[in-house]
Amino acid sequence: SQQGEEDPQALSIQEGENATMNCSYKTSINNLQWYRQNSGRGLVHLILIRSNEREKHSGRLRVTLDTSKKSSSLLITASRAADTASYFCATDTGTASKLTFGTGTRLQVTL
Partner 1 sequence: DVKVTQSSRYLVKRTGEKVFLECVQDMDHENMFWYRQDPGLGLRLIYFSYDVKMKEKGDIPEGYSVSREKKERFSLILESASTNQTSMYLCASRTPSRHPENIQYFGAGTRLSVL
List 44, 57, 58, 66, residue binding partner 1 (CB under 8 A): 44
Nearer to partner 1, 31 or 77 (CB): 31
Q: How many residues bind partner 1 (CB under 8 A)?
A: 24
- Using CB under 8 A as the binding rule, the residues of this chain from 64 to 103 that contact partner 1 are 88, 90, 92, 96-103
| C-alpha to C-alpha distance for 75 and 63, rounded to whole angstroms | 6
Minimum CB–partner distance for residue 64 and partner 1 (Å): 18
From candidates 43, 65, 74, 85, binder to partner 1 by CB under 8 A: 43
